[in-house]
Amino acid sequence: MISKKTFLTCTLSVFLSLTANAQKTKNYTHKIDSIMAATSPLTFNGVVLVSQKGKIQYLKAKGYKDFEKKIPLKTDDQFEVMSNSKQITAVLVLQAAEQGKLDLHTPIKKYLPSLTQPWADTVTIHHLLNHTHGITDTEKPTLFKAGSQFKYGNLSYALLGDILKTTTGKTFTELADSLFKKLKMNRTFVYNTQNNQSLVPGFKSENNQFEKVKESFITNEIAPSAGIVSTVEDLAKWDQALFKGNLLSPQFKKQMLFPSTMSQHNVFGKESMGFGYNVRIIKEAGLTYYGVTGLGDGFTCLNVYFPSTDTSLIILENQMPKNSENWSFQEAAIKNVVLKNMTSK
């Protein structure tokens, strides 16, 4: 039988732990609020979510869904997530590989026989997934030997969409929508001109003035690169499925998260960091975590997952600064607040 003294000690310990955690949450809540409220160098306009172990810790929207009509944003509004889409495409490709429908290290000529350039016999699906292919135009030579350098772009994931169709017999939209249904990502879909549901419009901003993007650059061809529309809560479900669930087998998850090349991104610092299959592997402040960014069409996106605490930070904005110096400015600041909170004692 537990003594009264032991019981009281344990109860006090639990109480102090919960109080400390609540205080830490309160600290970053106030700091994120401050960043979202700031107007210099630009105004924040979007939704921020922090979830831990699948439970929401912070969820707020600020600004307008439509500046012209003065419609406020809601936390469940649907945004174009730009290059975050590539991570979903990568999973679909790896699932096809698990099923034996394609091989990651086979030259892509096997799957896209219409390609005429010599590089089709050396560039593999692996090179397309981690942006080390060197292709800039399907009718031109590559910039470099496959696997020797990193160059980010949309073309490789458009090609992956074609490969998925030839190997599975289904379009990218069919595969993605089926996956979203399975994961209960009910407000996530593949954009097209006939299917934009209640998607918020994107805006380009300068000096806190907002100009609506009149026409999206997304087409059926580019959808595997940048065509997913989602919400912060649906992307939190995605993180749980990818990092904690059985979306991929251990073997293929390891390949996706393996830093098979290096890349730099200002949100995560000035140094190059590991890059897998459209996921950055960042080592900062004693932690290893994963990140994916998106920018374009009047949208700015960030999805960061910290495995040590099972925490997701997801930020979706329907604004893109015209000044590249301000790209992802608040996203980086909010990420740093959450990171510092987790590493503080």
Amino acid 7: pLDDT? 43
Q: Does residue 23 lie within any of the structural domains?
A: no
Amino acid 6: pLDDT? 53
On the question of pLDDT at 266 being above 50, the answer is yes
The string of pLDDT tens digits covering residues 275-334 is: 999 999 999 999 999 999 999 999 999 999 999 999 999 999 999 999 999 999 999 999
Range 36-61 average pLDDT: 95
Q: Does residue 30 lie within any of the structural domains?
A: no
The string of pLDDT tens digits covering residues 108-125 is: 999 999 999 999 999 999
Q: 10 Å Cβ neighbour count for 107?
A: 18
Beta bridge partners of 316: 47, 301
Q: Does residue 22 lie within any of the structural domains?
A: no
Q: How many domains does the chain have?
A: 1
Range 145-158 average pLDDT: 97
Q: Does residue 101 lie within any of the structural domains?
A: yes
The string of pLDDT tens digits covering residues 224-260 is: 999 999 999 999 999 999 999 999 999 999 999 999 9
CATH number of the domain encompassing residue 95: 3.40.710.10
Mean pLDDT of the chain: 92
Q: Does residue 152 lie within any of the structural domains?
A: yes
Q: Name the residue range of residue 325's domain.
A: 43-343
